[in-house]
Structure 1
């Protein structure tokens, strides 16, 4: 599932995982940070799944062979991916997932996991959040391994969540990725959905909103779930009686914006270099976007080619994405408004 920040991808991913576990599926969850390799984050979780399967009588032998594959995988790839740290329960089996080539070895490892799951009459699903941070060559290896599992009808797969650029990244990594996977887009709520999200929790507690108060919250939040939560919380805290009015919402908006500026927005802003901040500030002058790269360059009085490295760095950091060729958009809703607040005036242009 793909979508901007604040649309609820992580919450949805976790709910799908809980639903999978309640139906008897072996589910493991990882988050892909920017500074760790895919083998390093996968290996401990694959070990957990295999150890659980080894306690299933029908899957014991194949799960143990999977643990031997994991040992070979970790040992062979440790030279390339020095951050791999995983407990080894069995010694490696020569020739099994130990070539030192990530694509070949990951395929062998996941095949063994799938075989063990099949013998145990279950499935193994790895849930990966922030999947866009996986490096292209490692993403290609994962896609290839899952493709082999699919071809062999093995019950082993991945459910991921990431920013919108993930679809393009997967297609670039392996041309067949868009046929192999679904990429449901998670976006803001409709006005009707947003109204329900605001009104129903309050009504459950015996509190109402006035119509204009609801409209004001929807207008401010643009229907993004995380922002609806923030405005709803602060409107609730601000109001002294039912119904919650537009005056309560206006007062709450000041507090909500300040809270977002110091947390949700600020944590992302602090990761940026001065040049990256200037680029995003120029984008914000043009509005919420998407914007043509040429228009951003014109605003900065620079050439498009000279800004290429900055744009690429911001995409890597997950701050912007390209909805279509030559277009650039924020991955964080309302970030244009924040940039104008945090860098007011014209000093940023010098």
Structure 2
């Protein structure tokens, strides 16, 4: 098999050759975009799912759909070390300049730029790394209090009014939303609430790990009514088979049915892993059809590569105590487990490892699907922990 013709594309956010099983989510996004641009009620939404299910790929595809529908868009990624104002300000400047260029004069767009200047000037006292070039006087008394929950809604309203004035829409797409602080998430929710009340053509579409739903609800009780939270999970068997077979067929090759079944079994239908196994199986196969024996050889290569990159980059961020906690969680097997069971394996009290669990949640390694339960956010990470730490830690803290 010619590796140059390999159609599979494992990688963070890399678009797969076949976006199988996600059309219902794209249809929902298309309808939402159309309704909001037409001034009709529709919910902004957050895609919810574990690592490796393709949330970033979907955000990129939705951004394209939005641009095709006449939206001005930005896509940003939240992370632990960058505050929300610093994350958004350069992108909102980009949007407002794009709106301002749509015709010779736009009072609303220029007002939006003045409001942005006020917003940046006010928050710069707290966020030192905001630097954007705006040769314009600020809008006095608007979005300049320095209180993010008060200022961000005013900024979004100015942005939405500028878009409405141009007959356009604005789509703000934010990945990794679980990294926002409670205050930042609260401000974002309040801003979306304000534009929803005014039916302005601005939509916020985000993606995050499963804990995002609880974080949003904790931040603002009405968040569950304001947003939709479509779940992005592993692919159903038929969709997983299509994600493997259809790209191969475009290159004149096929998988044997038992080979497909084995890939689905070991990957559990998670899109990132399907791409990795497809990639390795193609490179290992002497010729088409790709058979079961080839897939079994490919598994060793796929696991080795995942251990060196996808899993290792997360493992290396952990403290020794966090590694012990995750190894104990892995010992309990797949799925969610009680915090008390993890504590029992480590021979410690639940209260003593609660800070470790909280730290792991903040790092996006685990989440709590129900009160007192803990589960991995990274599929198959339990198997990796057992490979890299074959024995349950004997050191007790």
Q: Identify whether the pair has TM-score above 0.5, normalized to the shorter chain.
A: yes
Indicate which of 319, 322, 328 corresponds to 1:276.
Answer: 322
Partner of 1:107: 153
Q: State how far apart, in whole Å, the 1-side matches of 2:105 and 2:373 are.
A: 50
Deviations 1:136-179 (A, max 9, x none): 10110110011011101111121001101111111111100010
Indicate which of 324, 340, 350 corresponds to 2:370.
Answer: 324
Deviations 1:199-238 (A, max 9, x none): 1211222212222211111110000000000000000000
Does residue 243 of structure 2 align to residue 192 of structure 1?
no
Partner of 2:189: 143
Contact in 2 for aligned 1:59/1:117 (Cα 8 Å):
no
Normalization by structure 1: what TM-score? Answer: 0.98
Partner of 2:71: 25
Could you list the structure 1 runs, at least 4 aligned residues long, displaced by more than 3 angstroms after superposition: 346-350
Q: State how far apart, in whole Å, the 2-side matches of 1:326 and 1:347 are.
A: 22
Partner of 1:308: 354
Q: State how far apart, in whole Å, the 2-side matches of 1:109 and 1:346 are.
A: 52
Q: Which moved more, 1:86-95 or 1:8-17?
A: 86-95
Indicate which of 288, 294, 305 corresponds to 1:259.
Answer: 305
Asked which structure has the greater RCO (Cα within 8 Å, sep 6+), the reply is 2
Does residue 262 of structure 2 align to residue 216 of structure 1?
yes
Indicate which of 71, 78, 81 corresponds to 2:117.
Answer: 71
When residues 258 and 328 of structure 1 are mapped into structure 2, their CA distance, relative to the original with a 3 A threshold, is same
Q: Matched residue of 1:44: which SS?
A: helix
Q: State how far apart, in whole Å, the 1-side matches of 2:379 and 2:276 are.
A: 14
Aligned length in residues = 350
Partner of 1:54: 100
Unaligned runs of 5+ in 2: 1-46
Across the aligned residues of Structure 1 and Structure 2, the Cα RMSD in angstroms comes to 1.2
Q: Matched residue of 2:125: which SS?
A: coil
Indicate which of 274, 286, 290 corresponds to 1:244.
Answer: 290
Partner of 2:174: 128
Unaligned runs of 5+ in 1: none
Deviations 1:291-342 (A, max 9, x none): 1111111111111111110000000000000011111000000000000011
Contact in 2 for aligned 1:58/1:119 (Cα 8 Å):
no
Does residue 345 of structure 2 align to residue 291 of structure 1?
no
For residue 83 of structure 1, report the CA deviation from its aligned partner: 2.5
Q: Matched residue of 1:260: which SS?
A: helix
Contact in 1 for aligned 2:327/2:392 (Cα 8 Å):
no
Q: Which moved more, 1:201-210 or 1:71-80?
A: 201-210
Indicate which of 51, 61, 82 corresponds to 1:15.
Answer: 61
Q: State how far apart, in whole Å, the 2-side matches of 1:133 and 1:54 are.
A: 32
Contact in 1 for aligned 2:324/2:393 (Cα 8 Å):
no
Q: Which moved more, 1:89-98 or 1:233-242?
A: 89-98
